Structure 1
């Protein structure tokens, strides 16, 4: 299993970032490749994903450790993927989002195509950074609109 960790600072209170992470319908706005998402109960979501040019469906289970501001997720269908989002308050109006993504390189190649080895790790790193930047832009725009 490989692990990637990235973080980004966001100019919103922790609660605003936490709320956005838990709105499955917002996932297509910041997760590349997710075409549609919907909640399926309190702790599950269904994702329609474009993976290597093929439509795929993934189900994820979400577990919160609210007292620690940590959200973990794990696929329950589709490729075996998992991750964690940790929110850390910087001050009243700023939050650091730390993302940890766990994956098997062979599963990524098989499910999503693309390069192998070091080139795959670089592509995944770029993708996660892009997703975090899009999340930042979304949640900050929502905060400004209020």
Structure 2
């Protein structure tokens, strides 16, 4: 399993950063390699990605979500095994630290070598920077879903 962690400070209030992150269908606007995301239910999404010329499709489930604090997910089907969490930390009234942690299972030689040399880390860092540019240039979120989701037994 490969783990990537990246943080970015965005110059918007915590609610704005969090609300934007819940708008999964907007991810292709700032995530390189994400072709599309469809919200198939309150806690379920379908992803289509194209990275390194390889297209993958998978379903993911939100396993934990607490407004202005965190969103966690895991893949549930398809050919990509991954899980992640994004946390939001208030630094000031108009400044928020967004921390992304992604755990994934590289498949095949190309992905394993790419992970070993840090290509995945570079990708997450670039996506975090594009998220910062996206939300700061707008100044407001494109929408919001502030539902609370807890893991069973949590």
Same fold per TM (> 0.5)?
Answer: yes
What is the rounded CA distance, in whole Å, between the counterparts of 1:46 and 1:111 in structure 2? 26
Q: By how many angstroms is 1:110 displaced?
A: 2.5
Q: Which has the higher helix share?
A: 1
* Number of matched pairs: 141
Once residues 125 and 115 of structure 2 are traced to their aligned partners in structure 1, the CA distance between those partners, rounded to angstroms, is 19
Query: Greater RCO between the two (CA within 8 Å, min separation 6)?
Result: 2
> Residue by residue, what CA displacement relative to the aligned partner does 1:31-81 show, whole Å, maximum 9, x if unpaired?
221111121110111111113313221111113341671110111122110
Equivalent residue number for residue 10 of structure 2: 10
Moved more, 81-90 or 57-66: 57-66
1:48-127 to 2 correspondences below 5 Å: 48-66=48-66, 69-77=69-77, 78-104=79-105, 108-110=106-108, 113=111, 115-116=113-114, 118-119=116-117, 122-127=118-123
Q: Which runs of 5+ in 2 are unaligned?
A: 143-154
Residues in 1 aligned to 2:114 and 2:141: alpha-carbon distance in whole angstroms: 42
- What TM-score, normalized to structure 2? 0.81
**Aligned to 1:129, which of 106, 122, 125?**
125
Q: Which runs of 5+ in 1 are unaligned?
A: none
What TM-score comes out, normalization by structure 1 length? Answer: 0.85
Q: Give the corresponding residue for 1:47.
A: 47
